[in-house]
């Protein structure tokens, strides 16, 4: 037995416990960031936040040159460096993913060229949507490409643009959504715009590479790349969440001694899951959500992911943008931007019924219609904000 404190999630998993202890011990001896923040490795180790990494980024790099990573998914860049050979693990995981989904296909990428090598089958993600569609058609015509790789936020824009043009791209057979949190409503949207494409979803970050891959047999679940990463789902008090309860995603990389990340909170939310596919022997998580989608609070104190309510808004033709503020357990303000000048009574009735079903008969809703919903000071757009005094998420 080692003297290193082991998180609850890993205690009954010998491989995870051994690798966690090994990297913690190594970091305490060799890494200045952890000598500073992990003062006693025999006691519960603090979670490392993105803000801490940003504030002490040079200390975390420990003399290694930071790769100029800025992801398409975050406005808060973190500079990281991987030890030699670490990239090989990513190549292996990519191969694993392709194997799970039936083998390689000729592909194209619409990605941030700041972090991806530009070549004859890549396009910058900031390109106008008409340029993206022309690129996809050209790649198919010239190279026979049938597989498209991009970010969920870009795929969403692309789908909506195609549907507004009354167009579909049936020749695409596979769509890989990478890097950002993928909302379940994307499955429907992709099916409409790309009717013959199988969506592949990876949960990854520039700091950690592939974190989890969507199960090809049960698309609700994502199998964790547990051979290289330890993933914990923690509640606000730092305890491991049981399956079904959303919590912070906290990740430890076993194989990076450059910008080592131990118990690193990415800022995303997810739930532990047990995948019943019976074919992939890796632990699973589900309902991964970026922080911007938010959490609401039930009367019993439990948290719920806003994604389970958001379809009621998204599927409402009367509005084009929305935001939910929870001011008290049973009091909400719904901000919405009407689409034209619709009759809003049916919208309000549907939303009221949905909230009462979820939060109880005493639920009160106020509707506040505006021309546009402001972004937060940090530039992010929050679909749901829990603003109950004294409650922090």
Residues that bind Zn ion (CB under 5 A): 215, 218, 275, 277, 280
d(CA 158, CA 171): 15
Comparing CB distances to Zn ion, the nearer of 153 and 218 is: 218
The H or E element that residue 265 is part of is strand 264-273
Tokens standing for residue 218: 């049960």
Cβ atoms of 324 and 385 within 8 Å: the answer is yes
User: Cβ 275 to Zn ion, closest distance in Å?
Assistant: 3
d(CA 121, CA 108): 5
Closest CA to 50 of 294, 215, 267: 267
**CA Rg, the chain, in Å?**
22
User: Cβ 121 to Zn ion, closest distance in Å?
Assistant: 30
Comparing CB distances to Zn ion, the nearer of 222 and 382 is: 222
User: Cβ 327 to Zn ion, closest distance in Å?
Assistant: 39
Residues 6+ apart with CB under 8 A from 76: 50, 54
Comparing CB distances to Zn ion, the nearer of 201 and 275 is: 275
- Backbone φ and ψ of 182, nearest 5°: -110, 120
User: Cβ 213 to Zn ion, closest distance in Å?
Assistant: 10
Comparing CB distances to Zn ion, the nearer of 275 and 305 is: 275
For residue 92, the tally of other CB atoms under 10 A from its CB is 14
User: Cβ 151 to Zn ion, closest distance in Å?
Assistant: 24
User: Cβ 218 to Zn ion, closest distance in Å?
Assistant: 5
Comparing CB distances to Zn ion, the nearer of 281 and 390 is: 281
Comparing CB distances to Zn ion, the nearer of 26 and 100 is: 100
d(CA 287, CA 272): 9
Helix (H, G, I), strand (E, B) or coil at 275: coil
Q: How far is CA 373 from the centre of its chain?
A: 23
| Strand partners for 108 | 148
Comparing CB distances to Zn ion, the nearer of 97 and 123 is: 97
Helix/strand/coil (H/E/C) assignment for every residue in 126-156 = CCCHHHHHHHHHHHHHHHCCCEEEECHHHHH
Comparing CB distances to Zn ion, the nearer of 280 and 388 is: 280
Closest CA to 27 of 251, 232, 254: 254
User: Cβ 177 to Zn ion, closest distance in Å?
Assistant: 18
User: Cβ 223 to Zn ion, closest distance in Å?
Assistant: 6
């Amino acid at each position: 037995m080692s003297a290193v404190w082991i998180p609850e999630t890993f205690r009954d998993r010998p491989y995870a416990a051994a690798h966690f202890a090994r990297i913690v011990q190594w970091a305490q001896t060799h890494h200045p960031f952890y000598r500073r923040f992990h003062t006693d490795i025999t006691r519960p180790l603090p979670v490392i936040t993105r803000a801490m990494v940003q504030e002490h980024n040079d200390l975390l790099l420990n003399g290694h040159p930071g790769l100029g990573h800025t992801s398409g998914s975050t406005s808060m860049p973190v500079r990281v460096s991987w030890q030699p050979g670490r990239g090989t693990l990513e190549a292996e995981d990519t191969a694993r993913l392709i194997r799970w989904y039936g083998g390689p296909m000729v592909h194209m990428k619409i990605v941030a060229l700041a972090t991806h090598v530009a070549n004859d089958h890549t396009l910058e993600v900031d390109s106008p949507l008409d340029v993206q569609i022309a690129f996809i058609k050209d790649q198919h015509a010239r190279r026979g490409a049938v597989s498209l790789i991009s970010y969920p936020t870009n795929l969403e824009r692309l789908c909506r643009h195609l549907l507004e043009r009354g167009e579909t791209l049936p020749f695409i057979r596979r769509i890989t959504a990478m890097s950002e949190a993928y909302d379940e409503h994307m499955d429907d949207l992709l099916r409409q715009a790309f009717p013959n494409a199988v969506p592949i979803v990876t949960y990854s970050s520039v700091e950690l590479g592939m974190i989890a891959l969507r199960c090809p047999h049960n698309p609700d679940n994502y199998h964790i790349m547990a051979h290289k990463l330890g993933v914990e789902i923690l509640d606000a008090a730092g305890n491991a969440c049981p399956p079904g309860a959303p919590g912070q995603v906290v990740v430890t990389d076993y194989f990076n001694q450059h910008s080592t990340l131990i118990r690193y909170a990415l800022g995303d939310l997810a739930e532990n899951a047990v995948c019943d596919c019976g074919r992939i022997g890796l632990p699973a998580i589900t309902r991964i959500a970026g922080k911007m989608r938010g959490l609401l609070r039930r009367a019993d104190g439990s948290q719920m992911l806003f994604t389970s309510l958001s379809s009621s808004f998204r599927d409402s033709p009367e509005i084009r943008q929305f935001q939910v503020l929870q001011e008290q357990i049973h009091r909400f303000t719904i901000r919405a931007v009407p689409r034209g000048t619709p009759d809003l009574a049916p919208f309000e009735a549907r939303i009221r019924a949905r909230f009462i079903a979820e939060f109880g008969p005493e639920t009160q809703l106020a509707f506040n219609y505006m021309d546009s919903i402001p972004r937060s000071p940090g530039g992010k757009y929050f679909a749901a904000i829990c603003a109950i005094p004294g409650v922090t998420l």
